[in-house]
Structure 1
Amino acid sequence: AQEGKLIEVRSANLLNVRTISDQEVRELIGNVHLVQIEPGEIIRIWCDSARQFVATNKVELFGHVRITRDGVTVTAPEGVYFGDERRAAFTKSVRLEKGAMTLTSAFGEYFADEKKAIFVHDVTVVDSVSSTKSNALTYFDTEEKSIAVGDVSVTSSENNVTVYGDSLVHFAKRAYTIVPKNPRLVQIDTSEGGIIDTLVVMADVMEAYRDTVHRFVAKGNVAMARNDFVARCGEAVYLMKRERIGLRDQPVVWHRENQVTGDSIAVTLFEKRLRSIYVKGRAMAVSRSDSLFRNRFDQLTGRELTMYFAGNKLERVEAERNAVSLYYLFEDQTPNGMNRSSGDRIAIEFQEGKAGRIKVVGGVEGRFFPEPMIAKRESHYNLDGFRWIEARPKRSNLHVIREAHD
């Protein structure tokens, strides 16, 4: 054994000394207490019985094994402690505790010098706000950093949010987590009618900041869906406690038959139900005017646009600054021309999803296009920036099947 790394026996009810393969072996039975003293710290070991190999400075530990060092406690039914390496290995039901954090797994190793632990198979980490599961996990004590790999899931009991991924890195001191590959966020909620309503978010990378607003940041090929709300963009920020979702980098939002685009989009919820959608920069709202006339789209543009909802239904849309509207007219389901209006501000009220009263304020201009002029030429009259995106994300494709991660 290396000098200064000897394992000392502090207590045992019974001591037997034997020679096995020319090596002195001490058998310790009953209330075993061992220590290894290093400059500045002491590793303490307790167990029911132990077998100490003096020459190799190794101890086999049996029954109610407990090892403590600097606020970290590791327990298991049995294990082996290697004194020269200051390493403990466990092959059954290992448990590590530090403060409010508890980590359990089938197998584990603890490295005292590196202040590192490696856990494999059925790994679970529970702290005051979340539970993490994975196939394997490496924990760095000094940094309070965890790296989990293999069918990873993190569940927050406070807000019913679970994030899945191939792997994650968690920094406890910074309250920051990153899922760098195949992340999925799932938030399960129950609507007023008792129906399960689930928010699903997918992206290339996902980050979580456990700050005052509980921020989730999704980056790269972001797609999300909840009830009648669907969106995609390059980057999304979900402020959970403020019930606000910010979308940027070519964002698109769909709500039922309505499509919204712009430079940036802010979605506001109230009690987890859609309250408003605010669009800034090249804002445009589009909806199919009639299912029988698939080339006719009602359109509204402006530098800013806000959609207001009640009971998950669209009530009003307001466009401001260079506002322009284009709406098709029907009489008893028979097409009857089109109106185009512009002004400083345009407000449109909706009833049962259909546009009703339209109010134009400031610098008002309007023109009616009779049916013979626009028939089969609808695309020529679309507003600047018009695009109708058929390939909207489907929640069935985003939804995570839990069994795939169990």
Structure 2
Amino acid sequence: MSLIPLRVLTGLFFLASAALVAQERGFEVRSAQVLDVRTVGSNQIQALIGNVYMVQPSATGLVKLWCDSAFRNLQTNVVQLYGMVKVVRDSTTMTSTEATYYSDERRAEMSKGVRLVRGTMILTARFGEYWANEKRARFRDEVLVVDSGSSTHSDVLTLFENEGKTIAVGNVRVDNPGNNMTVFGDSLVHFERERYTVIPKNPRLMQVDTVAPGTIDTLLVTGAYMEAIQDSVQRFVANGLVEMARSDFSARCGEAVYYHTRDRLVLRDHPVVWNGENQVTGDSVVIRTSNRKLESVWVSGRSMAVSRADSVLRERFDQLLAREITLRFRDGRIYQIDAERNATSLYYLFDGSQPNGLNRSSGDRILMDFADQRVDRIKIIGGVEGKYFPEPMIAKRERQYNLEGFRWITDRPRRRQLTIVHGFYE
């Protein structure tokens, strides 16, 4: 290897030769403290040391490169950068301790760890590369994106600046500390301008709430795919076979919309909701909470509420059928069911602990009051009709008296059955 000294300066070095700039395809060395050209085999290597600053135009703007030292192959136009490396294009800044810049491609590659800053977003990863012409970046291994309201972990992440789109793949986890919510998935696609995110495969949502000092409650939601819409009405949408569970209720449906800033959950497509020994079904269900506690469940369409009447006589269920049903809760426990429009009730009677037949009644509106999770009183308003069936008539024939559409579903979702992610909650 022979060394050809070109110019050595002890102070700040400026290179402004128009001929050299044209020869090097727009790549320009703006400053360095030392510049040498070395011949290695058939290649000439340009060595730049100390406060190195280089620029190159790209299809999307000027690419600026800073580092402590750099070695550029004048034949391949590949530059090795070392020290405090910084690559800037417009509002995107990438930093590392080492980088390789392919000037013909306008591509920077950082394999010793990378940090990207763009607006309020900060991204870190073990490996990253950036295509300036395409305004595209790709990162892998321990990828973490921190924005103003959330942080996202993944194995691989690709950023498309022009489209305002981000794709994360592999062990995706999004943490939102503002509402104690974490979303998991196999992959994630985020559209920045639309403020829309979709998790297309294997999404799981977990929200941890401190309901009382020393008491933690957790809502778990799973589905086929999940969306997050961050417009004026912020909401999460789960689709497919949606299952959810919390300590005080569980549910299953085809679509669930969670308005987390409004404490409201809307279930559609054959929804079923359970609370203790109570079950409701209908065309749609709206669940409201207050301070993260269950407040009411409103059911519309062909609505039915079912409650187990006795823990020993397992075939006996109090039933309520109507066009609209509202379940009301106090301290997480049901205290009233309100059925309106074409309401029909089936209510089992007891003399102390002894079964004593059943009443079947109908009216414009039926109110069921509960005490200790069991029906305590029934009030029927408007167009009242009723019939009593004595115990000898119904004993061991309870199924014959169930209201039309009755079904008691036993395979309700349980939190221990909804695997969120190994090591977090199972």
Do the aligned residues in 2 keep the contact of 1:5 with 1:37 (CA within 8 Å)? no
Q: Deviations over 1:290-331 (max 9, x none)?
A: 111011110011000000111001011100011011111112
In the TM superposition, residue 39 of structure 1 has moved relative to its aligned partner by 6.1
Describe the SS at the equivalent of 2:101: strand
Give yes or no for the alignment of 1:94 onto 2:119: no
Answering whether residue 350 of structure 2 is matched by residue 330 of structure 1, we say yes
Q: Which residue of 2 aligns with 1:381?
A: 401
Residue 321 (str. 1) matches residue 345 (str. 2): no
1:339-358 to 2 correspondences below 5 Å: 339-358=359-378
Q: What residue in structure 2 maps to residue 148 of structure 1?
A: 168
Give, as a single letter, the amino acid of the residue that structure 2 aligns with 1:165.
G
Which residue in the other structure is 1:240 paired with?
260
Q: Specify the code of the residue in structure 1 equivalent to 2:204.
A: R
Asked if 1 retains the 8 angstrom alpha-carbon contact of 2:59 and 2:133, the reply is: no
How far did 1:14 drift? 0.7
Deviation at 1:193, TM superposition (A): 4.1
1:264-290 deviation per Cα after TM superposition (whole angstroms, max 9, x unaligned): 000011111101000001100001111
CA offsets 1:69-94 (integer angstroms, 9 cap, x no match): 01110111101000001101111110
Letter in 1 for 2:168: A
Aligned match of 1:370: 390
Q: Does 1:21 align with 2:41?
A: yes
Contact 1:213 1:240 (C-alpha < 8 Å) held by counterparts: no
Residue number among 326, 329, 332 corresponding to 1:309 in the alignment: 329
With over 3 angstroms needed to count, the CA separation of the structure-2 counterparts of 1:332 and 1:165, relative to structure 1, is: same
Q: Which runs of 5+ in 2 are unaligned?
A: 1-20
CA RMSD in angstroms, aligned pairs only: 1.5
Q: Is the 8 A contact 1:189 1:197 kept in 2?
A: yes
> Aligned residue for 1:396?
416
- CA distance change for structure 1 residues 27 and 295 in 2, over 3 Å: closer, same or farther? same
Superposed displacement of residue 399, structure 1 = 4.4
- Which range moved further: 6-15 or 274-283? 6-15
Q: Which has the larger radius of gyration?
A: 2
Q: Deviations over 1:179-215 (max 9, x none)?
A: 0000000001111242110010000000001123320
Q: Tell me the amino acid that sits aligned with residue 155 of structure 1.
A: D
Q: Which residue of structure 2 lines up, in the alignment, with residue 190 of structure 1?
A: 210
Matches within 5 A, 1:7-406: 7-38=27-58, 41-401=61-421, 403=423
How far off is 1:96 after superposition?
1.0
- Measure how far apart 1:403 and its partner are: 2.8
Partner deviation per Cα, 1:347-393 (whole Å, 9 max, x = no partner):
01111111112110000011111000001110010001101101101
Does structure 2 retain, via aligned residues, the 8 Å contact 1:233–1:248? yes
Q: Distance in 2 between matches of 1:312 and 1:375?
A: 33
Unaligned stretches of 5+ residues in structure 1: none
What is the CA distance between 1:3 and its match in structure 2? 7.4
The residue identity in structure 1 corresponding to 2:332 is N
Shift of 1:157: 1.6
Q: Which amino acid aligns with 2:71?
A: R
Residues 147-178 of structure 1 show CA distances to partners (whole Å, capped at 9, x for unaligned) of 00110001112111110000010111111110
Q: Which amino acid aligns with 1:206?
A: M
One-letter identity of the residue aligned with 1:294: R
8 Å CA contact 1:259, 1:285 repeated in 2? yes
Does the CA contact (< 8 Å) of 1:86 and 1:111 recur in 2?
Answer: yes
User: Aligned equivalents of 1:293 and 1:365: distance in 2?
Assistant: 27
Which one is further off, 186-195 or 202-211? 186-195
User: Does the Cα contact within 8 Å between 1:4 and 1:37 map onto a contact in 2?
Assistant: no
Shift of 1:41: 2.0
Structure 2 CA distance for aligned equivalents of residues 371 and 47 of structure 1: 90
Shift of 1:2: 9.8
Does structure 2 conserve the Cα–Cα contact (< 8 Å) formed by 1:6 and 1:57? no
Distance in 2, matches of 1:2 and 1:131, equals 44
Aligned to 2:10: none
| Paired letter, 1:80 | T
The offset of 1:400, in angstroms, is 2.1
Q: How many residues align?
A: 405
Identical-pair percentage: 54
Amino acid at match of 1:313: R
TM-score for both structures, normalised by structure 2: 0.93
CA distance in 2, matches of 1:37, 1:4: 12
61 and 372 in structure 1: CA distance in 2 versus 1, 3 angstrom threshold: same
